[in-house]
Amino acid sequence: MSNPTVDLILNHHSVRHYASRKIEPEIISTLVKCAQAAATSHYVQPYSIVSVTDPEIQNQLAAIAGQKHIPNAAHIFVFVADFNRHNSFINASDDIFANAENLLVAAIDCALAAQNLTLAAESYGIGCCYLGSLRNDCRKVAELLNLPKLTFPLFGIACGYPEGDRATKKPRLPEQEVHYENRYDSSNRAENLAKYDQEIKEYYESRNSRQRIESWTGMMRDFLSKEVRKEIREILREQKMLD
Ligand SMILES: Cc1cc2nc3c(=O)[nH]c(=O)nc-3n(C[C@H](O)[C@H](O)[C@H](O)COP(=O)(O)O)c2cc1C
């Protein structure tokens, strides 16, 4: 059954073409409030959000990400996993924060907050695109944003009112492939994936995409067989976010 919230969620697509119109400061503030309204593990709230409004920093983030749409975004939010705040009053050794569980807690909370912000932005007609590509150079992002120890820049979100945006909704995996009852069940996997591969091929053909995409499984085989951002574990350790 549809309702306006469900319609908004189901109509999501990433937007990478923006008008020059700025996002009103009251809307920015509301978006951050919406991010903060997300559930948070143990009430820890282990994140900070850096709004990048300085065009010079925005250009440098674009260079790190290697993405042409970033300088044209009206606003960029960077989501930072953050135990620095907690350390300011717990006054323990930095090392107490550095473990995989805390890192998961911070990453999950950041993602929940970010998705709340994205949906709220989309409800105002603002288009968004997540930017994991900022992790191409986390040290540089940390330097540009003056991030202290016990923080880590997880991803950004580029936002702006859409202009010239021709992107469409991308089909997701079939529900029966991702949603099981009581027990994990991959018995229809081959059939589900074959059907999905065909759907994805037709989707990219219908978009007259320059990229030739033959299948989702092929895309994933190419993507997941490459080693990516090997230095991240080391940077997490330098930042005292992982032991
Ligand atoms: C955590 C995260 C990081 C992402 N990073 C990038 C990115 O660096 N650049 C980009 O253009 N899109 C990025 N995306 C957008 C995905 O490519 C996009 O969500 C996916 O292809 C599905 O398309 P849709 O959002 O239009 O439905 C990211 C999405 C997520 C959730």
pLDDT tens digits for 56-94? 999 999 999 999 999 999 999 999 999 999 999 997 787
Q: How far is the CA of 93 from the centre of ligand 1 (A)?
A: 36
Q: In the chain, how many domains are there?
A: 2
Instruction: Look at residue 95 in the predicted model and tell me its pLDDT.
Output: 85
The Cα 182–Cα 83 span in angstroms is 36
The Cα 45–Cα 43 span in angstroms is 6
Q: Hey, whose CA ends up nearest to atom 29 of ligand 1? A: 130
* Average confidence (pLDDT) over 102-124: 98
* Average confidence (pLDDT) over 21-46: 98
Instruction: Look at residue 61 in the predicted model and tell me its pLDDT.
Output: 98
20 has a pLDDT exceeding 90: yes
* Average confidence (pLDDT) over 113-137: 98
Tell whether ligand 1 has an atom less than 6 A from the beta carbon of residue 141: no
Query: Is the four-CA dihedral 221, 223, 224, 225 of positive or negative sign?
Result: positive
143 inside domain: yes
Tell whether ligand 1 has an atom less than 6 A from the beta carbon of residue 129: yes
Query: Which residue among 138, 167, 196 closes a domain?
Result: 167
Out of 130, 152, 154, give the residue to mutate to test ligand 1, the one with the largest number of ligand atoms within 8 Å of its CB: 130
227 inside domain: yes
147 inside domain: yes
Query: Which residue among 128, 151, 167 closes a domain?
Result: 167
Write down the mean pLDDT value for the chain: 96
Write phi, then psi, for 165 (nearest 5 degrees).
Answer: -85, 115
Contacts of 17 (CB under 8 A, 6+ apart): 69, 72, 127, 162, 163, 164, 165, 166, 167
Q: Hey, whose CA ends up nearest to atom 22 of ligand 1? A: 170
Same domain, 120 and 109: yes
Same domain, 218 and 158: no
Instruction: Look at residue 73 in the predicted model and tell me its pLDDT.
Output: 97
Q: How far is the CA of 127 from the centre of ligand 1 (A)?
A: 12
Instruction: Look at residue 210 in the predicted model and tell me its pLDDT.
Output: 73
11 has a pLDDT exceeding 80: yes
Same domain, 163 and 191: no
Distance of CA 172 to the CA centre of its chain: 17
Q: 51 has which bridge partners?
A: 77
Q: Residue 92 belongs to a domain with what CATH number? A: 3.40.109.10
Same domain, 125 and 204: no
Tell me: the pLDDT tens digits for 172-223? 999 999 999 999 999 999 999 999 999 999 999 998 777 778 899 999 999 9
Q: How far is the CA of 88 from the centre of ligand 1 (A)?
A: 34
Instruction: Look at residue 1 in the predicted model and tell me its pLDDT.
Output: 79
- In the 8-state DSSP scheme, what is residue 173? P
Out of 9, 131, 165, 203, give the residue to mutate to test ligand 1, the one with the largest number of ligand atoms within 8 Å of its CB: 131
**Residue for token digits 């009251």?**
26
Query: Which residue among 142, 167, 192 closes a domain?
Result: 167
Instruction: Look at residue 93 in the predicted model and tell me its pLDDT.
Output: 81
Q: Hey, whose CA ends up nearest to atom 18 of ligand 1? A: 14
Same domain, 28 and 82: yes
Tell whether ligand 1 has an atom less than 6 A from the beta carbon of residue 130: yes
Q: How far is the CA of 62 from the centre of ligand 1 (A)?
A: 15
In what side-by-side order are the strands of the sheet with 151-160?
Answer: 47-52, 75-82, 151-160, 127-131
Tell whether ligand 1 has an atom less than 6 A from the beta carbon of residue 136: no
Tell whether ligand 1 has an atom less than 6 A from the beta carbon of residue 13: yes
Tell whether ligand 1 has an atom less than 6 A from the beta carbon of residue 229: no
Cα–Cα distances in angstroms (integers) from residue 193 to residues 181, 189, 190, 216, 221, in the given order: 19, 6, 5, 8, 13
pLDDT class of 145 with cuts at 50, 70, 90 = very high
The Cα 181–Cα 201 span in angstroms is 29
- Domain span at residue 19 reads 4-167
High-pLDDT (> 70) share of the chain, %: 100
Same domain, 133 and 180: no
Q: How far is the CA of 129 from the centre of ligand 1 (A)?
A: 6
Same domain, 118 and 218: no
Same domain, 202 and 219: yes
